[in-house]
């Protein structure tokens, strides 16, 4: 999303413009006061991310008329400084509401505006150039062929299958794609549909963009004091990675029987960004079951989620899905599914020249003087004689162990044959 041309959602000026009814806002206000105690009007508005004037003042007037709250003083001038406290009748009502659901926080948006926002921020149309790709992956040693395949795959916005032997950087490549995606996006804290609340914002996976304190601030951001619908927040395009812990139920709405509201599934939180399924084939769910769950979403770019009532809702499926595996793709999935994954990119073992470049970079990073003789010793003794294939991760791991051994012996880390042999003998299995 280009912030210079962005269209921030307008700040609502009335209850009607929130897309929600008075009853919903009154219930959320009452639960806010119930859980937080004495609050001034502007504090309730801040907690709910809604303006006080035109919305919260009307909601609080309604609660006062219903004898669910009352004013207990003022901390300044104007109604927004009135101190509101929940009444006994309001407390009883709040307890009933908390039994229905315990969501307290920013006011949700309706599902329809969320769908429109995701579509307006779609990865489709985002352009990654060769120069951008080279800069983003300059910390890795990748062949030109891999970069030439990766660029069009990212620009397509379609799914990508990274496969090849373990230890050659598939995960690092996928993570690099996540940092490469241009722009920022807006997401709501939560959405509401048919009276149900689905929490979308996840502090573990969503990186917020701080407000700009002045027009001179560089980079993306919303100017401090800018008026917009604050139920939405600006984040960097997300990268959500899951591995062997992924289960089929993680891909549907997660209903908490205690709080009685929903947590969005991984792929919904990843909308507008990257969803990496790492170590594909090693999940607790069988690959075919996982992929059958996604055959339609991958093709239609729409996902179908099920509420606890059994009602299904349609939500956008707009994440760049990356499957990463060191297993044979043809043994994991059938031809029909492989056809739906448009880009299959093989991450092969490094050539000896690439291995040398990786080794030199890692040695420099760890402050170890590079020695051509030392590298030749490693290659001849632990690869050629052992008939072992090189992996991109080996230089980092070998040099890590070498540093550990040198520190233990009180020696400077060097590529001496003694330290190399000690490191390699504990790193490689004999054979």
Calculate the alpha carbon distances from 120 to 116, 185, 310 in Å.
6, 10, 29
Backbone angles phi, psi at 70, to 5 degrees: -150, 160
Among the listed residues 115, 232, 255, 123, the one whose alpha carbon sits nearest the alpha carbon of residue 180: 123
Decide which of 179 and 117 is more confident. 117
220: pLDDT strictly greater than 80: no
Indicate whether 165 pLDDT > 80.
yes
Q: What is the pLDDT of residues 233-253, one digit of tens each?
A: 999 999 999 887 888 888 999
pLDDT higher than 90, residue 104: yes
**pLDDT, position 1:** 45
- pLDDT band at residue 5, thresholds of 50, 70 and 90? very low
Question: Tell me: the pLDDT tens digits for 342-392?
Answer: 899 999 999 999 999 999 999 999 999 999 999 999 999 999 999 999 999
pLDDT tens for residues 381-409? 999 999 999 999 999 999 999 999 999 99
Residues paired with 163 in a beta bridge: 325, 346
On the question of pLDDT at 274 being above 80, the answer is yes
In order of their start, the domains of the chain are: 21-104 (1.10.10.10), 114-346 (3.40.50.300), 352-427 (1.10.8)
- Res 214: pLDDT: 64
Q: Which residues contact 369 (CB under 8 A, 6 or more apart)?
A: 363, 414, 415
- Sheet containing 274-277: which strands, arranged edge to edge? 239-242, 274-277, 320-325, 160-163, 343-346
> For the whole model, what pTM was predicted?
0.87
The span from the first CA to the last CA of the chain, in angstroms, equals 52
Would you state the pLDDT for residue 4?
A: 38
Rounded-to-integer distance, Cα 261 and Cα 199, Å:
8
């Amino acid at each position: 999303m280009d912030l210079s041309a962005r269209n921030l959602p307008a700040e609502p000026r009335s209850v009607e413009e929130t897309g929600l009814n008075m009853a919903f806002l009154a219930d959320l206000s009452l639960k806010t006061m119930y859980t937080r105690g004495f609050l001034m009007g502007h504090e309730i508005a801040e907690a709910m991310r809604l303006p006080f004037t035109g919305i919260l003042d009307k909601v609080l007037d309604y609660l006062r008329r219903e004898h669910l709250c009352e004013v207990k003083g003022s901390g300044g001038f104007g109604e927004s400084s009135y101190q509101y406290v929940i009444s006994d009748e309001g407390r009883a009502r709040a307890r009933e509401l908390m039994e229905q659901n315990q969501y307290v926080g920013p006011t949700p948006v309706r599902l329809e505006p969320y769908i429109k926002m995701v579509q307006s921020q779609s990865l489709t149309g985002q352009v990654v150039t060769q120069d951008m790709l080279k800069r983003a992956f300059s910390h890795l040693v990748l062949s030109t062929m891999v970069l030439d395949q990766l660029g069009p795959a990212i620009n397509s916005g379609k799914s990508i299958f990274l496969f090849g032997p373990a230890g050659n950087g598939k995960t690092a490549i996928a993570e690099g794609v996540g940092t490469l995606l241009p722009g920022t996006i807006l997401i709501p804290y939560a959405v509401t549909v048919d009276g149900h609340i689905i929490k979308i914002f996840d502090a573990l996976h969503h990186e917020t963009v701080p407000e700009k304190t002045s027009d001179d601030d560089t980079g993306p951001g919303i100017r401090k004091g800018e008026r917009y619908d604050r139920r939405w927040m600006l984040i960097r395009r997300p990268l959500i990675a899951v591995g062997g812990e992924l289960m089929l139920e993680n891909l549907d709405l997660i209903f908490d029987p205690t709080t009685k509201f929903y947590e969005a599934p991984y792929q919904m939180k990843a909308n507008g960004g990257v969803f990496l399924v790492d170590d594909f084939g090693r999940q607790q769910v069988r690959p075919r079951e996982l992929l059958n769950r996604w055959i339609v979403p991958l093709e239609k770019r729409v996902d179908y989620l099920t509420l606890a009532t059994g009602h299904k809702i349609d939500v956008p499926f707009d994440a760049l899905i990356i499957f990463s595996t060191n297993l044979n793709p043809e043994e994991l999935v059938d031809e029909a599914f492989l056809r739906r994954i448009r880009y299959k990119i093989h991450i092969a073992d490094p050539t000896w020249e690439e291995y040398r470049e990786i080794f030199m970079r890692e040695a420099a990073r760890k402050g170890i003087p590079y020695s051509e003789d030392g590298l030749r010793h490693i290659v001849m003794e632990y690869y050629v004689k052992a008939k072992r294939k090189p992996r991109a991760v080996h230089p980092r791991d070998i040099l890590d162990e070498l540093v550990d051994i040198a520190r233990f012996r009180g020696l400077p880390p060097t590529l001496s044959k003694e330290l190399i042999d000690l490191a390699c003998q504990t790193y490689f299995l004999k054979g």
